[in-house]
Amino acid sequence: MSTTAPYTTIIGLEVHVQLMTRTKLFCGCSTKFGGAPNTQVCPTCLGLPGSLPVMNRRAFDLALRAALALECTIAPFTKWDRKNYFYPDLPKGYQISQFDLPFSSDGFLEVVDPKGAFEPCRVGIVRVHLEEDAGKSMHDEAAGTRDSRIDLNRAGTPLCEIVTQPDLRSPQDARAWLNELKLLLVYLGVSDCNMQEGSLRVDANVNLHIPQADGRVAKTPIVEIKNMNSFRSVERALTYEAARQWEDWQATKAEMGKTPKQTRGWDDPAGITRAQRHKEESSDYRYFPEPDLVPVTVSQQQIASLRGEMPEPPVSLRKTLAAKWNIPAYDADVLVNQGRDLVDYFEDLATRVGEGKVASNWMQQDVLRILNETNGTVSEFTVRPEGLADLIGRVKKGDFDTSRAREIFAEMVTSGRPVDTVVAGMGIAAVSDDDVIALCRELLAANPKIVADVKSGKEQAAAGLIGQAKKKNANVNPGKVRAVCIDLIRGME
Amino acid sequence: MSTSPQTLTSKDVAKVGLLSRLALSEADLERMTGELSKIVGFVSMLGELDTADVAPLAHPLDTQNVFRDDVPVASLSTPEALQSAPRHDGSCFLVPAVLGDSGAA
Amino acid sequence: MQPLEMSAVDLVAALRQGDITAVESATVFLDRIEATNGSINAFLAVDREGALARAADIDARRKAGKPVGPLAGLPVALKDVLCTSDMPTTCASKMLEGFRPPYDADVVARLRRADAVFLGKTNMDEFAMGGSNENSAFGPVRNPWDLSRTPGGSSGGSAACVAGDMAPVAIGSDTGGSIRQPAGLCGITGLKPTYGRVSRRGLIAFASSLDQIGPMARSAADCALIMETIAGHDPGDSTSLAVDVPRYTDLLDKPLAGVRIGRVPEHFAAGLDPEVAKGVEEAFAVLMAAGATVHDVQLPHAKYGIPTYYLVAPCEASSNLARYDGAHYGHRCKDPGQRTAGHTGGFESPLVEMYCRSRAEGFGPEVKRRIMLGTYALSAGYYEAYYAKALRVRRLIRQDYLDAFQTVDLIGGPVSATPAFKLGEKTDDPLAMYLVDLYTVGTNLAGVGGISFPCGFTKSGLPIGFQLQAPPLAEPLLLQAADRFQRLTDWHRRRPQAVGVVKT
């Protein structure tokens, strides 16, 4: 943080992720996204009279996995509690959650930018707990009806709630940290963290710390921001809110503690936060132990066994890759950030090519580029590691230069065919040295001006011959043409 | 820890009524205030006991770790799910419009 | 012998032997219900058509030599707190009037598989809250022994229908005594199993950590028969015990020699009706004559049972009944929103109005009282002083039982301080009504099992009940002791004259 900034922004996040289980937390209904309303419901998740919950073991294991990766302490004994409130998307009139004995607490997740755009930011995790999701309430303003429509498909979906310490110091940090959290949870197979589908939701708490002339630090009231639908919205909302609080501070000098915590909703199209109605009794949830569920114990053996079967998380995978393949931290970061599938592809490629950096370059400059252009995934990518390795090997041998290789690669991607077939189809053949010399002689004869330039010391002028050379014979290696031309010119007197 | 018998005011009772989502007439409020005060006074006798070293007993069982496998089970059909709904549109439950933010703070 | 006079055990045997068909048997009881329910009001719903169809199917299968269940053809009445997919399930509340669940309770499914024939759903105190069955939204139940008196509650309908010979067995539920106390006031036998012995799935919850389902019949032997079908682990109930079910009927015939029965001196304090005290002491004498020994035991925290129960139960109930809000099922008020519009000091939104008016209209006064009490006791600032405090005292009460069971095998005593009381006698004072559970709440708080059965009659002909309580999972011993008592006495064979019952 710059010493000249008048305030420090203090940010904490509350993240809810839906766990990637096949069924809900307390019943066997499917958790698939996008089903027709009220087709994935049963007496338990509908909250019908007499219904009872039974805990999904896989949900608990995935939650444990997330907590372990977030370096949390796992409670040896944990229990469930009822959070009581009335809302139509909550059919039982209470949510089964965890209150005073969550299954994990006191962890952290660090985010580092290898380009140094921001300082490494280690964010403490207060707790990670497991709870059930509510259903969906839909209100169609345009239809003009006075009804809301309630779909309970989502009710009962397992959620992990992750609460951070207020350790973030800028909206950029927050966004980067969320990206890192998402990457981690996707790597672990815990959640697909898709904000568009609602499998990841974020609320933020933000206030300002303003150093005073007398050495005291004034703190503005904490504001909770809701309704941010993307990481970009989170960054924008926090940026707006920090500025708004600064304005407010200058106008009112209102400090934390004198007013209750405010909730504001982010309005993305308008680009502002708006105060929400303060509901007086809404926060008395009357938590008490859930009598329909028994407590859960977690042993050290269980934890060790879960650690053993956990996929390698990004933070250590970056280091592993860099060391194993002798590639820079930046490269490892880019590769890891694309996900496990891409890392697997890279490692397969690097093994075949026998060299990390070359493989990494091809991944970044070519594979990723094409994937981004086509919005494709690496698992569906037509060229498999063996095909690309083949191509790279040929480049190494000097069969073609890099730009030629790119053309071949593009054709391989489109056609799905291997190198040899593509090369033959494109009429590519190796050009003999004699043919290159002959061709260069032709070019020099046709380009007296360029010859004169080169002779007078401007070697870069030779570049003008390359385009012509390729027109005459697409298979020539431009580098070779250039070198031979210059040699020939030098040989002339 | 002692608990002195609580007398509830009608303001207390009105607050509890809202938390419980029960509409109470003035007469209800008055009657309930009397009844609840009496009952609360009665149950406050538990304050006589010293339970500082006694852990709460939420379950009469000693069971722990009851789970089920992550295996899908047939859901109800939509008509079954909606069969007792006071109002529905064939696909969703209908309730008076829910505007603004969710119920949970 | 007439089906109306037969024990369930004998009736099942007769059905098996072909002495009577399932249709004949069902018809007798259905006719009896038709003749007497008007004055008793034990049944809220009678499924004549369904019962006869079921009975006919069982008869056909038996005739064709196909396998039938162990209770094939036995008529059973179900307390209307149990979900039945083919009969309404109302909990005797306007909130669920006409409600039909899309699924069966686990117990109902088990009884169906055993080929029991369901006669209908019995009346009860609304949402199981009460001790006299006067809290029903569909009229009180009358005690067949004296129609001006209550049958007890909350399983008053189940108790009355067995006592009145409208069904050989009924299923009830017990949260603070709701099987045992009405059994005691109606002169029948009722068992509350150890918590977790019978699945609660499909039992409409009142207080989840206290509720249990159990049989009500004319004898311990009949209760044992039903227990074999309804007890057992249910993976759909996390609080269900994964323990094998003993063959209760095989274990019945055991002498009482060496069994130590505790007697709690505090039970015989001032409030106990003298005739009841006498009946209870005579019961101890019978058990001693049968070979048991009686020892004084202490349950030092027994007097805190009622206040503890009347915190734990309403707190859990306030949460369990939050789902009855008019949104997804049950009663919804008309035109929510009409009082909100332009009405100052009214509801903050049409949605809140819907909740508040639907629940006010759907619930009776006792249910509302307990919801309010529970909400208050759980609310911010009061949790530690009330709910948490009650849970700590609960542990003390449970420890009392565990300590007592170090020196005795059973604890005996009264099940109710008085015989059946008059309708309207206690309805003005909620606290007076709460005290009818004095002898029974401890069992539920501790999670142990208890049985009550008749041990005598007052001069005016009202049944006197005796209760035995046992350590966890000691149902075999409870049933053996009650059965042994019933081999030596015939209180359980007496039938009320009030409704013109067939004399034995």
pLDDT in tens, C246-273: 999 999 999 999 999 999 999 998 789 9
Rg (CA), chain A: 30
Q: A124-138, A276-290, C427-441 — which one is most confidently predicted on average? A: A124-138
CB pairs under 8 A between A and C: 103
d(CA A297, CA A54): 16
Strands C449-457 and A158-164: unpaired
Q: What do you get for the CA distance between the two ends of chain C, in Å?
A: 10
CB–CB contact C328 A47 (8 Å): yes
pLDDT tens by residue, A156-179: 999 999 999 999 999 999 999 999
> In this structure, what are the phi and psi dihedrals at residue C26, rounded to the nearest 5 degrees?
-60, -40
H or E stretch at A77: strand A77-78
CB–CB contact B97 A148 (8 Å): yes
Contact A418, A435 (CB under 8 A): no
d(CA C165, CA C4): 6
CB pairs under 8 A between A and B: 148
d(CA C465, CA C454): 4
CB–CB contact C398 B57 (8 Å): yes
Looking at the partner chain, which of A50, A284, A292 has a beta carbon nearest the beta carbon of C380? A284
Omega cis (within 30) before C154: yes
CA distance B20 to chain A (A): 9
Contacts of A55 in chain C (CB under 8 A): 238
Minimal Cα distance from B99: which residue of A? A139
Closest CA to C355 of B18, A47, A49, B102: B18
Interface of A with B in 133-162 (CB under 8 A): 134, 137-139, 145-152
d(CA A367, CA C427): 81
In a 13 Å sphere around the CA of C345, the CA atoms on its Cβ side amount to 4
- Domain limits, chain C: 3-256+482-501
Sheet of strand A288-289, all strands in order from the earlier edge strand to the far edge: A94-97, A81-84, A288-289
Closest CA to A318 of A305, A334, A303: A334
Contacts of B27 in chain C (CB under 8 A): none
CB–CB contact C375 A286 (8 Å): yes
The interface pTM score, or ipTM, of the predicted complex is: 0.95
CA distance A190 to chain C (A): 25
d(CA A90, CA A150): 10
Catalytic residue among C178, C199, C240, C416: C178
pLDDT tens by residue, A383-437: 999 999 999 998 888 777 788 889 899 999 988 888 888 888 877 776 778 888 8
Contacts of B76 in chain A (CB under 8 A): 41-43, 46
Distant-in-sequence, close-in-space partners of A1: CB < 8 Å, separation ≥ 6: A8, A169
- Count how many residues are written for chain A: 493
- Read off the DSSP letter of residue A30: B
Tell me which fold the domain B10-48 belongs to. Histone, subunit A (1.10.20)
Paired tokens of A350: 């690097």
**Which CATH class name applies to C3-256+482-501?**
alpha beta
Rounded to the nearest 10°, the torsion over CA A59, A64, A66, A72 is: 150
Average predicted confidence (pLDDT) for chain A: 91
d(CA A74, CA C268): 51
Contact C166, C119 (CB under 8 A): yes
pLDDT of A198 reads 92
CA distance A274 to chain C (A): 20
Contact C128, C154 (CB under 8 A): yes
> In this structure, what are the phi and psi dihedrals at residue A337, rounded to the nearest 5 degrees?
-65, -15
3-class state of residue A334 by DSSP = helix
> In this structure, what are the phi and psi dihedrals at residue A69, rounded to the nearest 5 degrees?
-65, -25
3-class state of residue C189 by DSSP = strand
CA distance A71 to chain B (A): 23
Looking at the partner chain, which of C301, C353, C431 has a beta carbon nearest the beta carbon of B38? C431
Q: What do you get for the CA distance between the two ends of chain A, in Å?
A: 64
H or E stretch at A437: helix A433-446
CB–CB contact A50 C322 (8 Å): no
Q: Which of A225-229, A462-466, C277-281, C419-423 has the lowest mean pLDDT?
A: A462-466
Per CATH, domain A433-492 is 3.30.70? no
Looking at the partner chain, which of C201, C315, C380 has a beta carbon nearest the beta carbon of A288? C315
- Count how many residues are written for chain C: 504
CB–CB contact C195 B61 (8 Å): yes
CB–CB contact A48 C236 (8 Å): no
Contact C231, C197 (CB under 8 A): yes
Q: What is the largest CA-CA distance in chain A?
A: 102
- Domain limits, chain A: 8-301, 312-425, 433-492
- For C113-129, the DSSP string reads HTT-EEEEEE--SGGG-
d(CA C334, CA C353): 10
Residues of chain B with pLDDT under 70: 1-6, 99-105
3-class state of residue C468 by DSSP = strand
Residue A474 clears pLDDT 80, i.e. is over it: no
Paired tokens of A326: 């002798």
Contact C3, C22 (CB under 8 A): no
Interface of A with B in 216-245 (CB under 8 A): 226-227
Looking at the partner chain, which of A49, A91, A291 has a beta carbon nearest the beta carbon of C208? A291
pLDDT of C504 reads 39
pLDDT tens by residue, A75-109: 999 999 999 999 999 999 999 999 999 999 999 99
Catalytic residue among C7, C25, C79, C136: C79
Contacts of B23 in chain C (CB under 8 A): 347, 353, 356-357, 359-360
Contact C445, C303 (CB under 8 A): no
d(CA A71, CA A411): 46
d(CA C106, CA C249): 21
CB–CB contact A54 C387 (8 Å): no
The burial class, CB within 10 Å (0-12 / 13-18 / 19+), for A390 is middle
d(CA A419, CA A352): 15
Looking at the partner chain, which of B8, B13, B68 has a beta carbon nearest the beta carbon of C235? B68
Calculate the alpha carbon distances from C43 to A258, C79, C122 in Å.
60, 9, 4
Closest CA to A123 of A135, A142, A106, A101: A106
CA A38 to chain centre: 31
Known catalytic membership, residue C154: yes
**A451 vs C187: which has the higher pLDDT:** C187
Residues of chain C with pLDDT under 50: 343-344, 500-504
Interface of B with C in 16-55 (CB under 8 A): 16-24, 32, 35-36, 38-40, 42-47, 49, 51, 54-55
Contact A355, A395 (CB under 8 A): no
Contacts of C323 in chain A (CB under 8 A): 47, 49, 91-93
d(CA A171, CA A202): 13
Interface of A with B in 343-382 (CB under 8 A): none
Give the chains touching A; criterion: ≥3 Cβ pairs < 8 Å: B, C
CB–CB contact B51 C351 (8 Å): no
d(CA C415, CA C183): 9
Minimal Cα distance from C100: which residue of B? B84
Known catalytic membership, residue C136: no
CB–CB contact A50 C238 (8 Å): no
C427 has which bridge partners?
none
Residue A240 clears pLDDT 90, i.e. is over it: yes
